[in-house]
Amino acid sequence: MSDFTVPDQTGRLAVVTGANSGIGLEAARQLAAAGAEVVLAVRSTAKGETAAADIRTTAPDARLRVEALDLSRLSSVTAFAQRLTERERPLDLLINNAGVMAVPTRQITADGFELQFGTNHLGHFALTGRLLPLLAAAPAPRVVSLSSGTHFVGRIDLTDLQSERRYGPSRAYAQSKLATLLFAGELQRRSDQHGWGLLSAAAHPGAAHTNLQAVGPSLGRATTRVPLATRLTMLIPGFWQQADQGALPTLYAATSPDAVAGQYYGPGGRLGLTGQPAVARKSSRAGDTEVADRLWRESERLTGVRYPQTRTAVR
């Protein structure tokens, strides 16, 4: 695949969660540079405004709006969706990017969910459901959900989704990212079944330098910690790529006319860690439609967000 560039996005409205840094910031930057109006959905609006100013240094005419969104609080998700709905503008693109990784000790969200599962999966599940009417009103809406190669070691334990009986930082993260991948596939299946008109895809950035590797492992600790494995791989030439390159699979899924509904994209280079966007490998568990259906139903129960059964009901 030749080097990918984002096609013209003039007239499109995009929401990018976690757009203040890393993959989210670079995705927002490239979408804005291509002409899209971008909502930077961020937990800290101060950091969001700093990110917007940064984007404008490379895209002076960028059309940006900073909105508060804390995915670990369902009330914040509802309030964010209500603000967008009040503007009565169709939503062309939702990038479910924000996340937290490898929190050292079990922490819970404001709604009582394990932090990684609650933020990475349930928060985005609720957000997508709340924004579905705006998405369905757009001519060719897309939803891109960020997973990770870590999903290969993930297991969905429907009897212990909140890791109450057993918690491990990497284990909980892997479960949340497998859940994200299952959600993306199930969203496409249900869109096809009920006529929502969505293109749902998933993506992962490969080995990309972002603050994700440090923020999560440092939660609850007095000092910032980068896991030993991460520090060791940083010594390997060519193992890591910068965030702007890591954002390309997400942007391909979000904007390429060749992107396929229900597909999973990542870097196409060595070990799927770096390089241009390509179809990514996924585990057999990520294709388990029975588990995806059960997880969907449980996610509706936990969040209280129930997706409609018909396109008419969306509107």
Active site residues: 173
* Gap between the Cα atoms of 154 and 241, Å rounded: 24
* Gap between the Cα atoms of 83 and 130, Å rounded: 11
CA distances to 48, 65, 70, 202 from 45, rounded to whole Å, are 5, 10, 10, 26
Give phi and psi for 68, each to the nearest 5.
-75, 130
* Gap between the Cα atoms of 4 and 126, Å rounded: 31
Give phi and psi for 125, each to the nearest 5.
-60, -45
Residue with tokens 């129930």: 306
Structure letter (DSSP) for residue 284: G
**Which helix (DSSP H) or strand (DSSP E) does residue 279 occupy?**
strand 277-279
The torsion angle over the Cα atoms of residues 97, 100, 106 and 107, rounded to 10 degrees, is -80
* Gap between the Cα atoms of 276 and 264, Å rounded: 14
**Nearest to 129, CA basis, from 55, 190, 49:** 190
The answer to whether the Cα torsion of 227, 230, 235, 240 is positive or negative is negative
Q: What is the CA radius of gyration of the chain?
A: 18
The two three-digit tokens of residue 80, written as one number: 């964010």
